């Protein structure tokens, strides 16, 4: 949970938030509080002022007249879904806040991850190749043309939510009560805009890492991180796996609990399926390249040792028929076995740049979430 990074991070390229992050230099965890405040607490205050925060009891009598007056004020309008009873909204606010924080942390950490991966002692790529790939990545993540379709999608989603809300008279955000619904629609648009922009940059950046690693790696069996020098990338991948879980959870909440009937639109179902398929690719693509290249480097280093051991073993086996040499050759075979075990321990390092037990637990959790979401979507076709 470090403070925002220097000017080379992807976070700096996020519209407005990047500039605010550099100026305020807040710990990134506080951005989660800011997101929650904007998404949930601002409408909360507006609903209190508009009288749709709660449903005021009709025959309640309290000793405290001030409390009675407060309850009558914040619940003076009869609505079927007051703000504090909107379970879907509070769940989404929590998921969006946590997911937004994870996303900002991933963006802020990527520059250091890329520098660690682009180490000439780890990669077989030349300095010119690394520089070229970095320039290509920076050009793509810095493109402002992508913001236009992202803004159109985000704006359309906000408008759809707002106009759907207008047709539900008992909803706390109906325009007849005030502007709380409009504020929520704007908040949803901003969440979608920043989420799509951030995921686009992470997808481009992770593709660039995979492309860089595909040039080949030098085997570093004694690297202190135990992951051939890729531990920073592995930590980022675990962080992105948590982000995947947040994305799927948000989609599941929308489809399972529903909100203003938007869960009935096939376009929402397709968007949910797209989240399940697209977001994990951000994690899988560089992981495949890293594990493949590390394994290839291991086999390359093990091949000469395997050839030497096979030759020595064949020679020892041919001489075992001689009684005088039998004991010596058995000891030589024992030495070869020890050499083989040592070679495997040295060269067959972890091909995955993270703790496999942690990654397995997160992966199983994601698969369960994805299966639950798929089940909900399948149920819509019945």
**What pLDDT, on the 0 to 100 scale, is given for residue 194?**
95
**What pLDDT, on the 0 to 100 scale, is given for residue 3?**
39
**What pLDDT, on the 0 to 100 scale, is given for residue 150?**
93
Query: Given pLDDT bands bounded at 50, 70 and 90, which one contains residue 207?
Result: very high
**What pLDDT, on the 0 to 100 scale, is given for residue 240?**
92
**What pLDDT, on the 0 to 100 scale, is given for residue 338?**
72
Q: Is the pLDDT at 92 greater than 60, yes or no? A: yes
Least confident of 17-21, 62-66, 165-169, 276-280: 62-66
Rounded to whole angstroms, the Cα distance separating 246 from 365 reads 11
CB 75 within 8 A of CB 56: yes
Q: Which spans in 118-259 are helix H? A: 127-141, 147-166, 180-213, 231-257
Q: Is the pLDDT at 206 greater than 80, yes or no? A: yes
For 49-59, what is each residue's pLDDT tens digit? 988 888 766 65
Work out the number of other CB atoms within 10 angstroms of the CB of residue 261.
11
For 142-157, what is each residue's pLDDT tens digit? 888 999 999 999 999 8
CB 171 within 8 A of CB 104: no
Query: Given pLDDT bands bounded at 50, 70 and 90, which one contains residue 227?
Result: confident
Rounded to whole angstroms, the Cα distance separating 96 from 17 reads 16
**What pLDDT, on the 0 to 100 scale, is given for residue 220?**
82
Q: What is the mean pLDDT of residues 242-254?
A: 90
Q: Give the residue with greater pLDDT, 341 vs 49.
A: 49
Chain-centroid distance of CA 112 in Å reads 17
Rounded to whole angstroms, the Cα distance separating 56 from 68 reads 9
**What pLDDT, on the 0 to 100 scale, is given for residue 146?**
92
Query: Given pLDDT bands bounded at 50, 70 and 90, which one contains residue 352?
Result: confident
Q: What is the mean pLDDT of residues 353-381?
A: 79
Most confident of the following: 131-145, 249-263, 298-312: 131-145
**What pLDDT, on the 0 to 100 scale, is given for residue 147?**
93
**What pLDDT, on the 0 to 100 scale, is given for residue 57?**
63
**What pLDDT, on the 0 to 100 scale, is given for residue 6?**
34
Q: Report phi then psi at 3, rounded to 5.
A: -70, 165
| DSSP conformational letter for 27 | B
Residues in Cβ contact with 37 at an 8 Å cutoff, skipping those fewer than 6 apart: none
For 9-38, what is each residue's pLDDT tens digit? 899 999 899 889 888 888 999 999 999 999
**What pLDDT, on the 0 to 100 scale, is given for residue 346?**
64
Q: What is the pTM of this model?
A: 0.84
Least confident of 59-68, 152-161, 363-372: 59-68
The token pair that represents 221 in the structure block: 């069996």
Query: Given pLDDT bands bounded at 50, 70 and 90, which one contains residue 4?
Result: very low
Q: Give the residue with greater pLDDT, 201 vs 308.
A: 201
Work out the number of other CB atoms within 10 angstroms of the CB of residue 303.
10
Average per-residue pLDDT for the chain = 83
**What pLDDT, on the 0 to 100 scale, is given for residue 2?**
42
For 262-320, what is each residue's pLDDT tens digit? 877 777 877 887 888 788 888 888 988 888 888 888 888 777 777 777 777 777 666 66
Q: What percent of the chain has pLDDT over 90?
A: 36
């Amino acid at each position: 949970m470090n403070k925002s990074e220097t000017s080379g991070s992807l976070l700096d390229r996020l519209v407005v938030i990047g500039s605010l992050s550099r100026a305020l230099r807040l710990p990134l965890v506080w951005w989660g509080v800011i997101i929650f405040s904007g998404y949930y607490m601002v409408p909360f205050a507006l609903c209190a002022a508009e009288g749709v925060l709660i449903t005021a009891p009709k025959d309640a009598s309290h000793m405290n007249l001030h409390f009675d007056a407060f309850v009558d004020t914040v619940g003076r309008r009869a609505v079927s879904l007051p703000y504090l009873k909107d379970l879907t909204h509070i769940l989404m606010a929590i998921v969006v806040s946590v997911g937004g924080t994870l996303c900002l942390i991933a963006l802020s950490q990527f520059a250091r991850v890329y520098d660690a991966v682009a180490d000439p002692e780890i990669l077989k790529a030349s300095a010119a190749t690394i520089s070229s790939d970095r320039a290509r990545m920076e050009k793509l993540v810095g493109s402002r043309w992508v913001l236009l379709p992202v803004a159109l999608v985000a704006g359309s989603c906000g408008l759809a939510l707002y106009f759907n809300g207008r047709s539900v008279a008992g909803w706390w955000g109906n325009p007849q009560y005030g502007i709380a619904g409009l504020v929520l629609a704007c908040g949803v648009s901003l969440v979608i805009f920043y989420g799509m922009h951030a995921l686009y940059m992470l997808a481009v950046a992770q593709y660039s890492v995979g492309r860089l690693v595909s040039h080949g790696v030098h085997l570093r069996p004694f690297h202190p991180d135990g992951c051939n020098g890729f531990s920073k990338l592995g930590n980022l991948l675990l962080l992105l796996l948590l982000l995947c879980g947040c994305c799927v959870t948000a989609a599941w909440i929308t489809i399972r609990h529903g909100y203003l009937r938007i869960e009935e639109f096939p376009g929402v179902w397709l968007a949910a399926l797209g989240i399940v398929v697209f977001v994990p690719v951000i994690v899988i693509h560089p992981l495949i390249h890293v594990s493949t290249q590390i394994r290839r480097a291991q086999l390359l280093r093990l091949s000469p040792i395997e050839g030497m051991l096979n030759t020595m073993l064949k020679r020892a086996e041919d001489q075992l028929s001689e009684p005088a040499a039998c004991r010596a050759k058995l000891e030589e075979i024992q030495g070869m076995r020890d050499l083989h075990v040592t070679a495997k321990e040295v060269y067959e390092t972890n091909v995955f740049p993270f703790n496999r037990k942690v990654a397995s637990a997160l992966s199983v959790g994601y698969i369960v979430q994805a299966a639950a979401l798929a089940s909900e979507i399948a149920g819509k076709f019945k």
